[in-house]
């Protein structure tokens, strides 16, 4: 049974962000609500934003005890050749030397090093080809809507030549939509929040050298980065290839609000950060966390449900929790509730059967935004859904009253049957 309550929806159009990027998205990380989207379902090469999936799988391997941050590994011929090639921005990894997982992860997450990424992939899965299988499997588990991984780094396979991961297309390219990149970042931030402690470091020491974070929006000590600094930014991943252009998945926190942004195929290093700043400004300045419906809010067109075999004839129902979302201050009236009662809880006459406990879940309510620019949510489980519960308990009626009721129902049914029979005679 589905019911809808309209809260006088108004005709409103959200202010668009004038964005110089082929694709972009802005997400509220606390609720999963999408605040802005531009071509967010279109596939683009993510370049080194690919490494967010590699980062996730490293954290997961550590969590499962497969490796630890102090586990050491040596560099095989493949990542060694990548590290020695300045085309791939190698940091000069050495062979016959033990490298800790922690150090390789820092080189990957902070300096976007490709060789360190491949070394970690080989450590976890035995080969990059097997690691790619893990990447695609995890993408399915996360529910990424649009993606394909063919390697762990974001380099085009064609550039890897004979080293392209076994089982992948020699000319294959990683692909993500902005929505998929944002959802990947959402999982990384929520499942492994300590990843931000690393991605927020402006520099890191590695093998006697200083590696600088490619995220210019952090607080660097270089004056030429000052104009890009954005308060609250603590991640997440840059990317660039000739095919992908300049990409960036950013995240920033102010107060109790965290936003995740993605820009794809911008035209320069500076542009990707400038456009990210536009998105973050839009999210933090135009939206406020607002309680739209309080806990105990009674559903106006169906404030009570009839009860069968109870000491009361009905029971009132309401929202189990308050509903708070980031919204524009003047758009509170654009939200409405659509709710569905659990069919298994109701008899054929649409009644609940006593006994009923106070706070018993009998359905769910969906909060929807009634305007042309509803971008939805990045996750299926979001603050847009809340339980509908009973406000009071209803005891089962005693056997005597149930018997009297049953006798009464019998004679009522008999009366109607006789009336129908008499009508049939005429």
Q: Which two tokens stand for residue 169?
A: 């297309």
Q: Which of 327, 331, 232 is nearest to 276 (CA)?
A: 232
**Catalytic pick among 23, 33, 48, 384:** 48
Question: Which two structure tokens, joined as six digits, stand for 184?
Answer: 């990947």
Q: What's the DSSP call for residue 281?
A: H
Is 15 in the active site?
no
Q: Give the position of tokens 């491949």.
A: 118
254 is catalytic: no
Check 33, 38, 51, 179 and give the catalytic one: 51
Which of the following is catalytic: 23, 83, 112, 152? 112
Residue 347, CA distances (Å) to 25, 98, 206, 342 in order: 45, 68, 67, 11
Contacts 24+ apart (CB under 8 A), 60-67: 60/138, 60/191, 60/192, 61/124, 62/101, 63/192, 66/124, 67/101, 67/123, 67/124
Give CA–CA dist 407/410, Å, rounded: 5
Spatial distance between the Cα atoms of 120 and 101, rounded to a whole number of angstroms: 7
Using a 10 angstrom Cβ sphere, with 0-12 exposed, 13-18 middle and 19 or more buried, the burial of residue 421 is exposed
> How many CA atoms are closer than 13 Å to the CA of 261, on its beta-carbon side?
30
Neighbouring-strand partners of residue 72: 100
77-81 LR contacts (CB < 8 Å, sep 24+): 78/118, 78/122, 78/128, 78/163, 79/114, 79/115, 79/116, 79/118, 79/119, 79/122, 80/115, 81/163
CB 347 within 8 A of CB 323: no
For the question of residue 370 being annotated catalytic, the response is no
The answer to whether the peptide bond before residue 354 is cis (omega within 30 degrees of 0) is: no
Q: Is 217 helix (H, G, I), strand (E, B) or coil?
A: coil
Catalogue the active-site residues: 48, 51, 112
């Amino acid at each position: 049974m589905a019911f809808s309550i309209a809260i006088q929806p108004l005709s409103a159009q959200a202010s668009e962000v004038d964005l110089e990027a082929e694709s972009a998205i802005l997400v509220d990380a606390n609720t999963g609500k999408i605040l802005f989207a531009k071509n967010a379902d279109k596939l683009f090469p993510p370049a080194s934003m690919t490494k967010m999936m590699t980062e996730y799988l490293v954290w997961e391997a550590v969590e499962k005890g497969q490796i630890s941050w102090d586990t050491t590994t040596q560099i095989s011929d493949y990542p060694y050749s990548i590290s020695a090639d300045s085309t791939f921005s190698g940091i000069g990894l050495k062979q016959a030397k033990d490298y800790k997982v922690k150090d390789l992860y820092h080189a990957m997450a902070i300096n976007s090093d490709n060789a360190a990424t491949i070394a970690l992939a080989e450590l976890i899965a035995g080969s990059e080809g097997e690691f790619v299988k893990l990447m695609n499997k995890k993408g399915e588990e996360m529910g990424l809507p649009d993606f394909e991984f063919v390697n762990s780094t974001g380099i085009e396979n064609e550039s890897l030549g004979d080293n392209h991961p076994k089982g992948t297309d020699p000319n294959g390219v990683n692909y993500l939509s902005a929505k998929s990149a944002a959802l990947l970042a959402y999982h990384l931030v929520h499942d492994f929040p300590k990843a931000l402690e690393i991605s927020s470091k402006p520099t890191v020491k590695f093998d006697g050298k200083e590696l600088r974070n490619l995220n210019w929006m952090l607080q660097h000590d270089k004056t030429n980065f000052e104009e890009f600094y954005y308060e609250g930014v603590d991640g997440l991943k840059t990317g660039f290839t000739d095919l992908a252009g300049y990409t960036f998945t950013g995240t920033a926190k102010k107060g109790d609000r965290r936003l995740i942004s993605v820009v794809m195929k911008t035209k320069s290093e500076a542009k990707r950060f400038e456009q990210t700043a536009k998105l973050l400004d839009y999210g933090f300045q135009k939206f406020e966390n607002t309680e739209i419906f309080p806990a105990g809010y009674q559903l106006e067109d169906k404030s009570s449900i009839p009860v069968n075999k109870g000491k009361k004839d009905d029971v009132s129902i309401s929202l189990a929790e308050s509903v708070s979302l980031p919204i524009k201050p003047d758009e509170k009236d654009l939200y409405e509730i659509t709710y569905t009662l659990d069919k298994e809880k109701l008899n054929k006459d649409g009644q609940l059967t006593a006994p009923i406990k106070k706070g018993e879940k009998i359905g769910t309510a969906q909060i929807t935004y009634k305007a042309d620019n509803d971008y939805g949510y990045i996750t299926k489980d979001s603050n847009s859904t809340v339980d509908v519960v009973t406000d009071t308990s209803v005891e089962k009626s005693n056997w005597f009253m149930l018997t009297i009721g049953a006798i009464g129902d019998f004679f009522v049914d008999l009366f109607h049957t006789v009336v129908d029979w008499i009508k049939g005679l005429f």
